[in-house]
Amino acid sequence: MVALWLGVGCGIVLIFYIMGLPDTSNLWKTETPSAVTILDRHGVRLVSRGITYGTPLSVHELPAYLPQAVIATEDRRFYYHIGIDPLSLMRAALANLTEGRIVQGGSTITQQLAKNLFLTNERTLKRKIQEGLLALQLEWRFSKDQILTLYLNRVYLGAGTYGVEAAAQRYFGKSATQVTLAEAALLAGLLKAPSRYAPTNDLDRSRWRTDVVLKAMVDAGFIDDAQRRNAQATKPRFTWAAATPGVHYFIDWVVEQLPTLVSRPDTDLVVRTTLDLELQIKAEKAVALTLDRDGDKLNFSQAALVSLTPDGAVRALVGGRSYAVSQFNRAIQARRQPGSAFKPFVYLTALEQGMSPSSEILDAPITIGNWSPKNYNNDYRGKVTLTTALARSLNTAAVRLAEQVGHQNIVDTAYRLGIQSKLDPNTTLPLGTSEVALLELASAYAPFANGGAAVIAHSIIRIETDDGVIIYERLGGGLGRAVTQRNVGYMNEMLSATMRWGTGRAANLAPRAAAGKTGTSQDSRDAWFIGYTADLVTGVWVGNDDYSPMRRVTGGTVPAVIWKDYMLAASANDPMRPLPAIGAKYVSADGENTGGNALTRFLSRLIPGR
């Protein structure tokens, strides 16, 4: 009687769970959420982001070793069980009991399919019972090959891809019907932990996991040891490598802006950006070369670079040493003290109050309250011209000048040119103690390169659907004139001197006309170089994420070297062009004068057009 009532009770529980099972009649219908393909300014594909489902492929259309790799690593008795494998469950239970933790799962491919399609990842008895019941139902309704086909087309394989076809296209740039044995083993290896073993996240770990799968295939009898060795010697070629791993800093910035420019799309999108892949490669190379050569010796572990045209189009962006290690974008998200790289706003304010490059200011010790700023190396020159004070980056002269022109006036000047971070109008302001981002500081130098127009740093040119319908297009230019032609000429005169005989000599591009400014924060915690030619405005920062001091690194050393290495490569094929001088007018690439109503031009940027 006890056994009878237990049977009845179990039957009632099973009926309860069966009644709650989801409908399995639409298994062959795939979802089609939108994906985003991002191109550089020339139409070169940088990356595809978002959830992507590949074209469904039957198990018979794939190379035999692809489903074999999956079976070898996920469920070797797949063709012999009824959806639940008691032997695998007991083996997994014994292994977990021995280790004292979960080290092995006993779920079959059919159970995994049931869980992936219909259930959550919660670890409860209810979910496990539902998973088993669904697995039995799937085995009753479909053949083994149909179940394996469904699994291979619906399983998540990292980087926003579902199914082997989408994953093969994403990682290798080809159909799953064309993958090699090594590539098939890599795809199968992703099933254990897609994000952890994706080659886009950690290539070494992905290769290790691939070797594990190949050994499992040998153990299962699908391949022999010679085939395994040949596969291990064959390194897959990844499509993402063509766009460089560092480009993902820029891609993240683009993707973050999409929701403000387009509503939730119901179709795939193609985004043409301002980035120039050739310049991006040169930027990454210049940063990596200096980090590898001097980083340990001079105690700096990070660097960032941003390069934009004089009208604000970002051509290259390096957000750090390694995107795979840290996705924090030091070119956009980090705010650090710019040091003397902030001084051009002090000197521009003086020019706007009637002074000139030849006006004089005293360079001598000064005390304001309890603060006594000092020059680098404690060297003082007495009365000097503004040109000398800026080119030599004399701190006491800059502090005296700021006291004379007014700290709030300097703040207003910096905001007008494009600084967006909060600036404190205190006595230390002229020495760059208010923190800013590299992108905004480089953007604020753009008016000196373009003839006086403030710009909005931007990354997106056009957004269209996959069938070519334009749903957003950038219109207009910047925010209108911010600096008079006279003062643009004066600033270029002074900042060019910085590179000819001042603190920026290491960045000199002679005979090409260039100008710029060095910056170093207290104790060498940050070092900057912001410079420009008539074609590019580029900023470089080096330092450590934990704010630890570097070993006597200044803006005129490491950042200036990175800047020069990049700019020489980036400008190699550009004609020599002078910087805007007094009385010169800058005309943008589309032939439009950079002046105009700031509000009108700002609004025109936001309004989508065809």
Can you spell out the DSSP letters for 226-268?
HHHHHHHH-PPPPSGGGG-GGGHHHHHHHHHHHHHHS---SS-
Largest CA distance in the chain: 109
**Residue 458 DSSP label:** B
Burial call 66-90: b when 16+ CB within 10 Å, e when fewer = bbbbbbbbbbbebeebebbbeebbe
- H or E segment and range at residue 602: helix 598-606
Residues 6+ apart with CB under 8 A from 564: 506, 507, 508, 509
SS3 letters across 164-225: HHHHHHHHHCCCHHHCCHHHHHHHHHCCCCHHHHCCCCCHHHHHHHHHHHHHHHHHCCCCCH
Q: Give the count of alpha carbons within 13 A of 180, CB side only.
A: 17
CB 40 within 8 A of CB 273: yes
- As given in the structure block, the two tokens for residue 530 are 């912001």
Cβ neighbours of 343 (radius 10 Å): 29
Looking up tokens 């001042």, which residue turns up? 502
Paired strand residues for 273: 460
Catalytic residue among 48, 74, 88, 352: 74
Q: What is the dihedral of CA 217, 220, 224, 228, to 10 degrees?
A: 20
Residues 6+ apart with CB under 8 A from 181: 63, 65, 69, 214, 223, 227, 230, 231, 234
The span from the CA of 250 to the CA of 47, in Å, is 11
The span from the CA of 258 to the CA of 265, in Å, is 10
**Residue 392 DSSP label:** T
Annotated catalytic residue 340: yes
Residues 6+ apart with CB under 8 A from 12: none
- H or E segment and range at residue 13: helix 2-19
φ/ψ (deg, to 5) at 187 = -60, -45
The span from the CA of 165 to the CA of 57, in Å, is 7
The residue count of the chain comes to 610
Catalytic residue among 88, 340, 443, 524: 340
- As given in the structure block, the two tokens for residue 225 are 């040891």
Can you spell out the DSSP letters for 114-155?
HHHHH--S---HHHHHHHHHHHHHHHHHS-HHHHHHHHHHHS
CB 425 within 8 A of CB 410: yes
3-state secondary structure at position 38: strand
Catalytic residues: 74, 340
